[in-house]
Chain A
Amino acid sequence: MQIFRPGANTIALLVLAAIGATPVLGIGLAYRITSSPYTTNQDVTRNQPVPFSHDHHVGGLGLDCRYCHTSVEKARFAGVPPTETCMTCHSQLWTNATMLAPVRKSLAENKPIAWRRVHRLPDYVYFDHSVHIAKGVGCVTCHGRVDRMPLMRQAAPLTMGWCLDCHRDPAKALQPRETVFDPTWTPPPDQKKAGARLAAAYHIHTGHLTDCSICHR
């Protein structure tokens, strides 16, 4: 007596294939989730207490990055400007704008503005802005076209794989030091060759850039 119909063979094969494929797909899915914007917060735009627009201040008015992020050339942290920096201009301009009320309140009450963090690295990563600037890595390389962002968002995934991508081959991300703060800088057509020349000029030894101790301590 025939227990299984002829189609049962196909089903059995499919089940076997599914058993084999599920772990592989599962791992793939997990990997996709961990590197997806859901986890990395890439391109997530955050609301801020004051809707500060880089688009207006950098793209429109042409402020230099270092006007606010003063320690970017000196320290690990670029620095978020104190209220006083905002008030250097806004004690004269838009003095009654409701949008700027939290800034005026902060100065009056001596209470800092609590900005929402956009870029976050894990605590065991010791990223240093100053050394990247010194070696010719431009702001936009990691932060994207800030001059076109009305509200700040995280342009890059900030995963370790993304970091290593450049640390293995920095030439593709290098630009002349004098252009690192220029958001409009675009790589030349021969970036590969120009980058290699810059790497040599800036003494960037790629051999040990992937050492664990470069970022973790």
Chain B
Amino acid sequence: MPQVNELPTVASPVMEPAPIDRRKALGLLAAGIASGLASCSKPAETIIPYVAMPERLVPGEALHFATTLPLSGYGRGVIVKSIDGRPIKIEGNLRHPASLGATDLFAEATVLSLYDPDRSAVVLRDGAITSYEALQQAFLGEQQHMRANDGEGFRVLTGPTTSPTLLRQIGELLRTYPKARWHSHDPLGDPAAEAGATLAFGRPLHAIPRLDKARIIVVLDADPLGAGPDQMRNGRGFAAHRRPTTSDFSRIYAFEPVPSLTGAKADHRLALGTNEIGEVAVAIARAQGAAVREPAIPERARSLVTALTKDLADHRGAALVLAGPGLTAETHALVHWINTHGQAPLDLIEPLARTPEGRAPASISELTADLAAGKVTQIVMIGVNPAYDTPAELGFAAALPNARFRLHAGCYANETAELATWHVPLSHVLESWSDIRARDGTASLIQPLIRPLHRTMTDHELLARLVGQADARSYDLVRETWRSQGGADFENWWSQALHDGVIANSAAPPVSAGEPVLPALADAAPKDEHGDEQGHERLALVLRPDPCLWDGSFANNAWLQECPKPLSKQVWGNALLLHPDDARRLGMAGGDVVTIASRGQHVQAPVLIEPGLAPRSASLTLGMGRRKAGAIGSGVGVDAYVLRGVDSPWLVPSVSLARTGRRQAILTTQNVVRRPDDVRELFPVHQLGKPQALPKTLAIDDRPSLMPERPRPDNGHAWAMTIDTSLCIGCNACVVACQAENNVPVVGPEEVARGRDMHWLRVDVYDHGGSGDQQLGFQPVPCMHCEHAPCEPVCPVAASVHDGGGLNLQVYNRCVGTRFCEANCPYKVRRFNFFGYADGQEYANLGLDPYRGQKNPEVTVRARGVMEKCTYCVQRISAAERAADREGRQVGADEVHTACQNACPTQAITFGDLQQPDASILRRRTEPGHYALLAHLGTRPRTTYLADVRNPAPDHGGGGT
């Protein structure tokens, strides 16, 4: 019987892959063409309406809600614009005393953080995802333990907070568990100011300066115009006396070791070491009759100190001295004495971070000591990141694991969450109910703009769980706090408070502190030792908050990482600022990576040469070098908290520098203009009292041109902008506001290194100090919207054209990307999408879906290969024109506000219609010192400037006022 070969054991030749024959090739070809054609078919789009339409919502139309954003525990009132339920833009709240209608860069950038995909979204136990039920179980266990021993060993650590509801809850917690303790940690706190007030008045009063009432302002290492929770109020106060049309022009003297925004705007600035600045305070006090020792002020400061003491004496009641966090408590006390004697426009208020029972928080140093001593068994850390932002020498991170139950609650699973046993995700401020006080004590409510994007809870809900209220909601908790305030008609009171974004008459009353005590001053420090026994060069390291990232909590915000630092224009990192003389002596050049060492701690940072430093002072900003910030912020820059000392947080008295031999490019978007010829041509400065008067208002330069006289038929408007460089404090609020409004993409560090960035508005910095100490001025440069625009005739496809309102338009759907316009623009304001920065080739995780929620639906997201630039917020102009058309009226004289104009804390930017006789821009343009940038080119720019006016002291180069 023949064998049936059912299962062949040898491979059949048929099984081998056959070469593609003609038939198969044709088949594949046909399939390819068919699938290619099929993929060309248009996708069917759907329209998804609501099931039940929310009240008041009109599709595509913006709704505005008032809320408050915290910064270092203090609130700044804002109005949030929400379209179709998505918050997309933050504007200032006119009614709020810390905003006055303006914003700062942190407020503007908050809306991006809301959509950050790196935000924490789940409860973690030892780093692994777990459930809220497990958390609740753990809470119940801990509560039993705490009830049994009155909270012995239980600690709550919060950031700086002024929230009445949070403080009420902390008070309740401390009542429930009498042996528990509350600690507060502010990485950017000013312990010297509190200690100084305690020295002077016996209690830690807070000083609230009133810059709007001050004619003479002496700044001792302080930066009232710099970033911070009071920047907008101070900025508006500063602007009140900086217009050449006012008769009471103020004068600012600044003494500082490191350039600051206030120093840049000062009429006299002198770079001095921190110790020498303390001596200036001694000299002022002595001149005013205080029984203090002889000051040891350096020779070069002597004549300026004489001038300012005379000014202070002449302006009693309108002269203000401000001391910064780097100075000693004694100097702060001395400044309190000077201000009290000079009747300075300054309010003293009781500290706001007190529970209703008046309990003050303990410090993080005490907490660390207790942790190290094993006295802490349970710790709850809410909204803080001490594992990153405490000084390394404190040893918090090493001591923390001594506590058995360590819970971290925050918006991000950050460095501290890594060391905690539990991590609870907190809601973003735009998703939460809460309340907060401004620097002056004014309370306001925080209301959510959107339902939490993730399953998160608020700090109030967390604290409520700790005292056993498992299902308390923060809405009810906040209302509970204010119920007694609202009185009988609480609901009306509540809706009024929500509507206004501020609670009426809630500011802290100024206290009369009485006669300040003169502090006992130590003897003048001996001449600085500039080297140790080994002959190593020693420098003082001045620490500053990062002007764009603040304390580091904004590190994962791409807008802020790419926002050029106001004075160095550095982006995506920080650098060690070094004086050119020091750098030369040490043999270091810009870009050299050096090791900075102090008391056993060291970091490596690139060097950036900064001529505005005091000799033998170096500077580094805090807030960089995060390890666990997220996809954007991790590993960017150098962590300066490592070098920080516990007792003098803002000044490391002596650091040693050593070269590593490595070099690292410092990413900057532009340079400070220092060549005298360029400065003279581009940045007119006027010194009040100097013989030559302010230049007369420039007539529009009418030189012959091949361009048509008026490019288009007129539509009845002539949009224009005027920027007062006298008022511009260089704070970058406008830059980030523009980015938020106009969907301006972030390009990332690699692209910046290639010399590319996309900001539609840049702030040029000019050093007009001549040969002496540097004096900086700021000139924001948006598109000039030239009437004779050089970009237009060179465009081969007419993508750059004018409209009837005089706007120089960029038509994205026409642009083919020749970049001729960019080459021909004398102001260099055009930006090219070399890659799909906003459209498919985003930096890091910026292309992820959540971020799309922030995009302004009224502005096109530009694609790769397209030119873009400032449009004067054409979407806002168009919205105003269409609203006027609908209502059958004219657009009001000052109806249209651009994003940059709204953001500006000093109201330096005026925008309006030149054809409306009562538009405020017309008045600004008739002020003295009005000029057009590069006017001799005959471009007839619609954006014009007012000259920077300075008011030097009479015997210091000025004639006085």
Contacts and interface: CB of A to CB of B under 8 A. Distances in A.
21 contacts: A46-B44, A75-B60, A76-B61, A81-B49, A82-B50, A83-B51, A116-B44, A116-B45, A116-B47, A120-B45, A123-B860, A123-B861, A126-B858, A131-B882, A135-B885, A207-B712, A207-B804, A213-B878, A216-B860, A217-B859, A217-B875
A74 interface: yes
> What size tier do the contact residues of chain A reach?
35 or more
B38 interface: no
A211 B61 contact: no
B294 interface: no
Contacts of A107: 51
Contacts of B813: 122, 124, 216
Interface string A60-85: 00000000000101111101111111
A169 interface: no
B455 to A, nearest CB: 20
Contacts of A35: none
A39 B801 CA distance: 29
B247 interface: no
Interface of B: 42, 44-53, 58-61, 712-716, 801, 803-805, 807, 809, 811-813, 858-861, 871, 874-875, 877-878, 882, 885-886, 888
Interface string A185-217: 000000000000000000101011001111011
Given A84-B53, A117-B47, A203-B885, 12 more contacts: A41-B42, A79-B49, A80-B49, A82-B49, A115-B46, A130-B882, A134-B888, A203-B888, A208-B714, A213-B805, A214-B803, A217-B875
A74 B888 CA distance: 13
Contacts of B874: 213, 217
A135 to B, nearest CB: 7
A128 B882 contact: yes
Top 10 A-B residue pairs of the complex, sorted by shortest distance between their CB atoms: A208-B804, A207-B713, A211-B803, A208-B715, A117-B45, A82-B50, A80-B49, A114-B46, A82-B53, A83-B51
Contact of B60 (A77, A117, A207): A77
B51 A82 contact: yes
Given A77-B59, A80-B49, A212 B803 contact: yes
A9 interface: no
Chain A, interface SS category: loop
B59 A117 contact: no
B860 A217 contact: yes
Interface string A15-49: 00000000000000000000000000100001000
A124 B341 CA distance: 63
B44 A117 contact: yes
Contacts of B805: 208, 213
A84 B52 contact: yes
Nearest to B861: A123
A113 interface: yes
Contacts of A179: none
Nearest to A215: B878
A125 to B, nearest CB: 9
A180 B823 CA distance: 49
A112 B801 contact: no
Nearest to B881: A131
Given A116-B46, A117-B45, A75 B58 contact: yes
A126 B51 CA distance: 26
Given A82-B49, A115-B49, A207 B59 contact: no
A107 to B, nearest CB: 6
A124 B53 CA distance: 27
B717 to A, nearest CB: 9
- Which of A110, A114, A124, A126 has the most chain B CB within a 10 Å cutoff? A126
A188 B681 CA distance: 64
Chain B, interface SS category: loop
B859 to A, nearest CB: 6
B809 A114 contact: no
- Which of A120, A135, A217 has the most chain B CB within a 10 Å cutoff? A217
A106 interface: yes
A217 B886 CA distance: 20
B61 A75 contact: yes
A115 B60 CA distance: 18
A120 B42 CA distance: 12
A114 B51 CA distance: 11
A84 B59 CA distance: 16
A113 B809 contact: no
A73 B871 CA distance: 27
A168 interface: no
A134 B163 CA distance: 48
Interface in A81-134: 81-85, 106-107, 110-117, 120, 122-124, 126, 128, 130-131, 134
A201 B553 CA distance: 57
A217 to B, nearest CB: 5
Contacts of A84: 50-53
Contact of A207 (B42, B46, B50, B715): B715
A19 B874 CA distance: 47
A74 B61 contact: yes
B46 A213 contact: no
A117 B803 CA distance: 32
Contact of A126 (B715, B809, B812, B878): B878
Contacts of A117: 44-47
- Which of B858, B861, B886 has the most chain A CB within a 10 Å cutoff? B886
A205 to B, nearest CB: 6
Nearest to A83: B51
Contact of B61 (A71, A122, A207, A214): A71
- Which of A73, A106, A207, A211 has the most chain B CB within a 10 Å cutoff? A211
B51 A211 contact: no
Contacts of B861: 123
Contacts of B59: 71, 75, 77, 79
Contacts of B801: 212
Given A74-B58, A120-B45, A211-B712, A106 B804 contact: no
A200 B810 CA distance: 30
- Which of A75, A113, A126, A212 has the most chain B CB within a 10 Å cutoff? A212
Given A131-B882, A208-B712, A217-B858, A112 B809 contact: no
B42 to A, nearest CB: 7
Contacts of A212: 801, 803, 809, 811
A214 B802 CA distance: 12
Nearest to A135: B885
A107 B50 CA distance: 10
B858 A111 contact: no
